[in-house]
Amino acid sequence: MIAAISDIHGCSSKLYKILNILSKKKPQKTIFCGDYVDRGPNSKEVVDLMLDYSKSHNSIFLLGNHDDFFKNFVFKENRYGAGVWDKQGGKETIKSFTGKYFSNVEISEKYLDLIDEKYLKFFKSLNKLYHVENNHIFVHAGLRDFSLPIEKQNTYRPEVNYSYIWVRNEMFEQENPYENKVIVHGHTPVFILSRYDITPEKEDAPFFNYNKNNELISIDIDTGACYGKKLSCLLIDNGEYDYISI
């Protein structure tokens, strides 16, 4: 069994409950699909829970766009404009990791010495953009161009890995599966899919995106945990799907 979780966004209490359930199910592999930080109050605790879980469970950590904001700030990579992260949940994240907040998260140098080295090490290593497992592709946001090989997707705004961690519209416009594989992603909360002319039956459960021929193109597992909705974990077992939502 493969487990996949995305868009935890600092919701540590929901993650704690899901990981307790997963520990009993003993998945062969657990894939965390990004956005561990921002918006929710306990980003540091989320990383603690994931690292502790990974000590006894085979785990893969993918990069999400909000994690990229954190990396951009901490390692001074200058890939995003000033003030962007502050408006996207950076304040909550920096308070979680340091206990402090000085007016603007992106211009203050006072935080860096307050972040424990183990967290810096975790984010420094967070470079994996996708993971292929049998007939599934796990990625934070999706894939932008279904005509290109997965390793050559990054043709548009490559400096921020747009095609893997930011894409939305181009992903949802696709009418057929990508190379006979199912894309498992987060990034776009299920409850806002209506903006892309998609109407899910449930707004707080993973959305299975089928085309007109009943072929499964993708599964959106971002169920809006940081917006007061649920955190979900997709379970894949011999071609069958189930999920946990807390």
Q: What is the pLDDT of residue 242?
A: 97
Average pLDDT, stretch 158-175? 96
Residue 232 DSSP label: E
Query: Which is nearest to 178 in space by CA: 215, 204, 130?
Result: 215
CATH of the domain at 167: 3.60.21.10
Question: Rounded distance, CA 207 to CA 193, Å?
Answer: 9
The predicted model gives 235-246 an average pLDDT of 96
Helix (H/G/I), strand (E/B), else coil: 177: coil
Read off the pLDDT of each residue in 138-151 and give the average, rounded to a whole number: 97
Taken as a whole, the chain contains a residue count of 246
pLDDT band at 103; cut points 50, 70, 90: confident
CA end-to-end span of the chain, whole Å? 19
User: In which band, very low, low, confident or very high, does the pLDDT at 225 lie, cut at 50, 70 and 90?
Assistant: very high
CA 15 from chain center: how many Å? Answer: 13
Q: Identify which of 230, 205, 231, 238 has the alpha carbon closest to the alpha carbon of residue 220.
A: 205
Could you tell me what percent of the chain has a pLDDT over 70? 99
Predicted pLDDT at 107: 66
> Hey, what are 144's tokens?
């932008």
Q: Please give the order of strands across the beta sheet that includes 232-237.
A: 59-61, 29-32, 2-5, 232-237, 240-245
Mean pLDDT of the chain: 94
Which helix (H) or strand (E) covers residue 16, if one does? helix 12-25
Q: For residue 243, name the pLDDT band (cuts at 50, 70, 90).
A: very high
Mean pLDDT of 218-242: 96
Q: How confident is the model at residue 84 (pLDDT cuts 50, 70, 90)?
A: confident
How far apart CA 5 and CA 3 sit, in angstroms, is: 7
Closest CA to 159 of 36, 33, 68, 32: 68
The two three-digit tokens of residue 192, written as one number: 């806002």
pLDDT single digits (tens) 51-82: 999 999 999 999 999 999 999 988 988 899 87
Segments forming the whole domain that contains residue 181: 2-245
Q: What confidence score (pLDDT) does residue 161 get?
A: 97
What is the tally of structural domains in the chain? 1
